[in-house]
Amino acid sequence: MPVIKGWKFPIQVDKTSGKIETVKDNENIKQSVRMILDTRPNERKIVPQFGADLRPYMFETINPGVISSLEGEVENAIKTWESHISDINIGVKSETGTVSYLETRVDYITDIEPTQERVSKVLSDTD
């Protein structure tokens, strides 16, 4: 029996039942983390604080302080909006200097099914 259940994203309708397709447990959490990383604050009018403000980092000169700040932004957003994560590790991959590509990797363990999961978010100058 699932502990948590939510809509599948992108939203899809089951052709047989006509109901919105759902996901459960760890897949639900993975989709939640993706939505947090993909949503900028103020993008959702009903919950304007939701999301992680990653886009400004795209135009920073990468150095240890910027990486630490980005990791903190991601960690705070996930801890604020996803309560089922019990352990989190954030990594940032980029070229040095002014960037046109930035990858944030989030490794975590959930309190539902204790297996390690990973979600990546790539920002590029084409976004």
Output the domain CATH number for residue 119.
3.10.450.40
pLDDT tens track for 47-59 = 999 999 988 887 7
Annotate 80-94 with DSSP letters as a single string: HH-TTEEEEEEEEEE
Number of domains into which the chain is organized: 1
pLDDT for the residue numbered 100? 64
pLDDT for the residue numbered 124? 67
Segments forming the whole domain that contains residue 29: 5-124
Q: What angle do CA 45, 46, 47 make, to 5 degrees?
A: 95
Q: Which pLDDT band, with edges at 50, 70 and 90, does 2 fall under? A: low
pLDDT tens track for 8-33 = 988 999 999 999 999 999 999 999 99
**Phi and psi at residue 23, to the nearest 5°:** -125, 165
